Structure 1
Amino acid sequence: MLFKTKFMPLAIALAFTAGAHAQEVIKLGHVAPVSGPSAHLGKDNENGAKMAVEELNAKGIKIGGKAVKFTLMLEDDGGDPKQGTAVAQKLVDAKVQGVIGHLNSGTSIPASKIYHDAGIPQISPATTQTKYTQQGFNSVFRVVANDAKLGGTLGSYAVNKLGVKKIAVIDDRTAYGQGVADEFIKGAKKAGAGVQIVAKEFTTDKATDFNAILTTIKAKNPELVFFGGMDSVGGPLLRQMKALGIKARYMGGDGMCTEALPKLAGEGAANEMVVCAEAGGVTAELQKNMDDFVARYKKKYNSDVQLYAPYVYDSVMTMAAAMQQANSAEPAKYLPVLQKIQHQGVTGMIMFDSKGDIKDGALTLFTYKDGKKTKMEVVK
């Protein structure tokens, strides 16, 4: 008894000191394909998330009067819908307070129901399929323009700016690939009379041999070939187009609009023969912010931004800003704030409409010169 009485004040003091320095841990989930053909893009996304969390923790943020520490649960969906739903359930079971991801529409859409049913907000930095925000879920958001805008803009550009009439279309049968290809066709047909879709072929997201469909397309003599899919297929497809002597211009969406495309396509990515669009982009007045981010990323990871890292970074920062404004990291409390957020990110002002789509989303058109991805223009 004497022992307890003698040392009780010290025990209380130690407990008080520990409590004063304790941090509340906020768990965020991040999902991307860090294995499989799009692993280079998945790793790029993962790096963007890590960078944002490190910067948040360096600031010593307080939420609800408590010091907080953000942690990341990093998961790999391999670009596969079944794997995507499995890791989504894993994050729900781990009681994460928010999810950043997924990269592919085919994984993000089925996973979104799992997060929504659990009441966990999800911000995708890359999902463009229109269906993602049309499911009636109030907890899904995206920071890039959707396929209707991306595909439609490319279709219009092909007809009105490139002056093509005879078009062949190939997609990889994924939710993203089919979606962007269908929207491209709509945009092209709407842009002008006399537009002909002379061939509509499909492959898979793991294919390596395209000779059969390209031989069919070559016979139709198109002026432009549009591909809906990722660079891991789009690059080799372009390489084989060149080998078969198909001289058509080549166009695609954000999935193939990467720094890696020239390496994958070889001589197929000849100067200004490729036009692609990135679902996002910054206007001139915000270019310095983006340039600063790219420089910090390069210094930290000793590699160039591939595609979506800035949008992942902005997604994390936007979710954290909503928590700060709500004074709570509880999903039910910060979700209403997230729905109305106005956050200035490196990619622009982040605001969402009633469905969770980015307001006033930009697109950036690119081509390739001397093996380098080269910006053409930003379209709002």
Structure 2
Amino acid sequence: MPSKLKTAQLAPLLAALLAIGAHASAQDQVVRIGVSGPLSGANAFAGKDDENGVRLAVEELNTQKIKVGGKPVRFELQSEDDQGDPKAGVNVAQKFVDAGVKFVLGPYNSGVAIPASRVYNDAGILMSTVGTNPKITQARYPTVFRIVASDNQVGGSMAAYAAKELKIKTVGVIDDRTAFGTGIADEFAKQARASGLTVAGREFTTDKASDFATILTSFRAKKVDAIFFGGYAPQGAPMARQMKQLGMANVRLLGGDTLCSPEMAKLGGDAVGGNVMCAQAGAMLDKQAGGPAFKARYKQRFGRDADVYAPFFYDQTMFIAQAMKSANAVDPAAVNRQLRTLTYQGVAGSYAYDANGNLKKTAVTVYTFKGGLLVPLASY
């Protein structure tokens, strides 16, 4: 038998192996992907869903062991709770700046995205948001991307569907005074009037409210055929329940993408069905080539169904990785140039951006609920 290596002989060998391992690790380029969203409060379900979309993409990218500039790239996720609050969102943005994060997915809320976008732009950080308020990209910051349709498109599509398909004549409009709620309600009201609908009134609430009886009673007296709510599911669901309690079961509750959430059915119960309709950016996920497979992978990984925006967060993370490979660099300025040049086919649709960071073309799908599940009605 060969004699055993003595400790003195073994030590240099171990040191050499460790050096090789350290050298290999040092060759990795670490790319930190930040996620800013509400991980606490009423919209925490949405923030976690968005984070999961990015997490799934990061995990899949790391198994691919992609190389950029001849060096392996390792993606790391850093998720922060912006509480859906503008001030907290700016603090999160500064935290990412200090941590050297160069790519941020989020914020979820338009009211957070508007002030945070300036911090990200000044630091050269690429921000990819699902905030739909037109003001986000009207600032023309070169590092900002909106990865879904804007309020103009979503609100307009819902108004067109209400007029042409539902034959609605009179509608009441409510918004929650957030940047998102106000923006989408404004667009819906404008397009509704252009489509020949009568807007019977505009009422206001907050994104913390739970009692809508006074507003709903006012609209009931005006005999509206539908109510458009610019706001989020945690308010939309109790609004639907209260409409039912007030004998307004035949009045449609319309909304934007934030009402296209399983949370609506979960919180609203049997008050949320064919009476609720919402418009969501993107084509029907089940009709997209990679849609069903994405939904299956998501559920297997997280034990729950994907919500509204997870597919878009997943797609944009993958698009950023593709842009890095095309640029042969992980520098955000180089990646930015590729994002504004390339077209990327994701699980939720096709992505190509104009000079302002808006999608050049995107579908909007109108949904309703059946048995607690979203059912697509039409795409625009």
Report TM bin, short chain: over 0.9
- Structure 1 stretches (4+) deviating beyond 3 angstroms? 7-17
What aligned pairs does 1:60-139 form with structure 2 within 5 A after superposition? 60-124=65-129, 126-139=130-143
Does the Cα contact within 8 Å between 1:171 and 1:181 map onto a contact in 2?
yes
Unaligned runs of 5+ in 2: 1-10
- SS of the equivalent of 2:301 reads helix
The 1:89/1:21 distance shift into structure 2, 3 A limit, reads closer
Does the Cα contact within 8 Å between 1:151 and 1:184 map onto a contact in 2?
yes
Does the Cα contact within 8 Å between 1:106 and 1:174 map onto a contact in 2?
yes
Could you say which residue in structure 2 is the equivalent of 1:4?
A: none
Does the Cα contact within 8 Å between 1:28 and 1:72 map onto a contact in 2?
yes
State the 1:50 CA deviation. Answer: 0.6
Could you say which residue in structure 1 is the equivalent of 2:379?
A: 378
Q: Please, which moves more after superposition, 17-26 or 328-337?
A: 17-26
Size of the alignment, in residue pairs? 368
d(CA) in 1 for partners of 2:180, 2:166: 24
d(CA) in 1 for partners of 2:306, 2:193: 34
1:85 maps to a residue whose letter is V
Could you say which residue in structure 1 is the equivalent of 2:230?
A: 228
d(CA) in 1 for partners of 2:163, 2:350: 31
Could you say which residue in structure 2 is the equivalent of 1:142?
A: 146
Unaligned runs of 5+ in 1: 1-6
Could you say which residue in structure 2 is the equivalent of 1:191?
A: 195
Does the Cα contact within 8 Å between 2:207 and 2:232 map onto a contact in 1?
yes
1:68 maps to a residue whose letter is V
Structure 1 residues 68-88: Cα deviation after superposition (integer angstroms, max 9, x where no partner): 110011011111111111101
Which among 254, 258, 268 is matched to residue 257 of structure 2?
Answer: 254
Does the Cα contact within 8 Å between 2:288 and 2:349 map onto a contact in 1?
no
Alpha-carbon RMSD: 1.8
1:306 aligns with 2:307: yes
d(CA) in 2 for partners of 1:330, 1:296: 30
d(CA) in 2 for partners of 1:232, 1:373: 17
Which among 277, 280, 288 is matched to residue 275 of structure 1?
Answer: 277
Could you say which residue in structure 1 is the equivalent of 2:5?
A: none
d(CA) in 1 for partners of 2:192, 2:17: 72
d(CA) in 1 for partners of 2:298, 2:321: 20
Percent identical: 45
1:154 aligns with 2:154: no
State the 1:268 CA deviation. Answer: 2.1
State the 1:130 CA deviation. Answer: 0.9
Does the Cα contact within 8 Å between 1:144 and 1:362 map onto a contact in 2?
no
Could you say which residue in structure 2 is the equivalent of 1:38?
A: 43
Does the Cα contact within 8 Å between 2:53 and 2:313 map onto a contact in 1?
yes
d(CA) in 2 for partners of 1:358, 1:175: 20
TM-score when normalising by structure 1: 0.93
